[in-house]
Amino acid sequence: MTTTLDTGTKSPAAAQTGRRGSHALRWWVLAVLGIAQLMVVLDATIVNIALPAAQADLGFGDADRQWVITGYALAFGSLLLLGGRLSDLFGRRNTFIIGLVGFAVASAVGGAATSFEMLVAARVGQGVFGALLAPAALSLLTVTFTEPGERAKAFGIFGAVAGAGGAIGLLLGGALTEWASWRWAMYVNLIFAAVALVGAVLLLAKHTTSAARPKLDWPGTITVTAALFGIVYGFSQAETEGWTAPSTLAFLIGGAVLLAAFGWIETRVAHPLLPLRIVGDRTRGAAYLTVFIMGIGMFAIFLFLTYYMQLTLEYTPIITGVAFLPMVAGMVVSSTTAPSLLLPKVGPKVVISGGFLVAAAGMLWLTRIGLDTSYVTHILPALVLLGLGLGGAMSVAFQGSTAGVQHEDAGVASAMVNTSQQVGGSIGTALLSTIAASAMTDYVSSHQPGPLTMAQGAIESYTTSFWWATATFVLGAIVIGVLMPNTVPAPAEGEPVLAH
């Protein structure tokens, strides 16, 4: 890989030094990208922990509470493809820096919120700039690390950050809410953004191009943004209003129709927002499907297991966050070893399918929880299995998601990863919440009313969701085993990304 650090005529010794220097700087770039990715990922859960305190402080009702979560999800999910393409057109460094600054400003506004409307507006702003930031970070990683050995390690570390961010958000949110204020769940992003911004300015090369800049696909952009908005909002409506509510059906059906129209548009425009060659490749398509399935199943871990530990076992928010750390450790171990050790030997199909099966075993373990079960015997082993399985599958999927793409398509290919995860999470939220609610209703209605029945009904709702998540992971293992070719993904094209 050629970088701006080793251009020009050099002696062999100087060239070797330049290569060593560029290698060292690439790992610093990975640290910067990892910090930015952690900020975006943990924000999905850190606010959940702080939300009750924010509600009490600002005085908004339970019916409005969902908009603090939904506002972020709608903006982030619907604008990801646009954000990815903008990074391809205007430069990944530029888009990354704009995303960092905008996310930090929106976080500051949210931390200083004096009303419910101000808080929701800040969360929407975080979603908008997160949609710029997340694809730019992954695409920068893609074009920076193209040598197979380095690439495997880099994607493993990045995958560990992406997978563990949700659990870290629970711990950090609980600590900040209990020891400081819910507002620090927003303000903490300023620290992450400042560190990443300094690194980006110092390390990343400015965008230069001699080619004519392609035009933005406005018909495709408008159509897919509306489609993703409809799908994400439709699933959020299903969670609160039910699957047969007119608003739910209208947004889900409308989103599906617009998504089909987007596919038709992309085959007919000169400069498509999402060139179909990106999703048509079997390795990349299966990688996106992996992240999508993972988004559905992981929702059950963070939501229902958090409910169980806090409401049934009466853990504090901080203890709940600490309880998730073995899962983080498992993710770090598998994410950093699977791409470099297992992937070259057994191929991506085996690593991802095997990871799903290990995660399914962990989820199956959680179906054994009860009113007075022990953390050590019923939760700890399950979290370790989930971390090991999902960490390996995620890191390999991240690597496959941008395999072989040209550098001018790296941004939108990276955006597809985040879009798949966001849509999968929306489906998991709506589907598993509905299933859990039905399970609790059925149990309570068929037993003698009383506190014990209500408590056991909650257990039934959790375990039912875990059974469905288990089935989701098993199905994912089968589907990936059929669809994904078992060849090691080729790296994407590299480009100069390091500053002089």
Residues 465-494 have pLDDT tens digits of 999 999 999 999 999 999 998 886 666 555
Residues 400 and 392: their CA atoms lie apart, in Å, by 12
At 204 the three-state DSSP class reads strand
pLDDT at 213: 60
CB within 8 A of 332, min separation 6: which ones?
160, 164, 387, 391
Residues 19 and 2: their CA atoms lie apart, in Å, by 9
Distance of CA 67 to the CA centre of its chain: 19
pLDDT at 469: 94
Residue 345: Cβ-neighbour burial (10 angstroms; 0-12, 13-18, 19+): exposed
Amino acid at 175: A
Percent of the chain whose pLDDT exceeds 70: 91
pLDDT at 17: 36
pLDDT at 239: 75
pLDDT at 399: 86
- CB distance 401 to 284 below 8 Å: yes
411 closest CA partner among 130, 91, 193, 108: 91
27 closest CA partner among 188, 165, 191, 156: 156
CB within 8 A of 116, min separation 6: which ones?
58, 59, 60, 64
Percent of the chain whose pLDDT exceeds 90: 41
At 405 the three-state DSSP class reads coil
pLDDT at 428: 85
Low-confidence residues of the chain: pLDDT under 70: 1-23, 62-63, 207-214, 300, 488-500
pLDDT at 122: 96
Residues 186 and 180: their CA atoms lie apart, in Å, by 12
> For the chain, what is the mean pLDDT?
85
pLDDT at 16: 37
Identify any residues that bridge with 498 across adjacent strands, giving them in sequence order: 204
* Crossing angle of helices 380-401 and 348-366, rounded to 10°: 150
pLDDT at 302: 79
**Both tokens of residue 406?**
């040209």
436 closest CA partner among 472, 390, 473, 469: 469
pLDDT at 99: 95
- CB distance 201 to 219 below 8 Å: no
pLDDT at 281: 87
Distance of CA 406 to the CA centre of its chain: 23
Residues 40 and 161: their CA atoms lie apart, in Å, by 11
Residues 435 and 427: their CA atoms lie apart, in Å, by 12
Residues 235 and 240: their CA atoms lie apart, in Å, by 9
Q: Which H or E element spans position 144?
A: helix 116-144
User: pLDDT of 76-112, one tens digit each?
Assistant: 988 988 998 888 888 888 999 999 999 999 999 999 9
Residues 69 and 124: their CA atoms lie apart, in Å, by 9
Identify any residues that bridge with 204 across adjacent strands, giving them in sequence order: 498
Give the phi and the psi of residue 485 in degrees, each rounded to 5: -70, 145
Counts for the chain of helices (H) and strands (E), in that order: 17, 0
Residues 255 and 261: their CA atoms lie apart, in Å, by 10
- CB distance 316 to 174 below 8 Å: yes
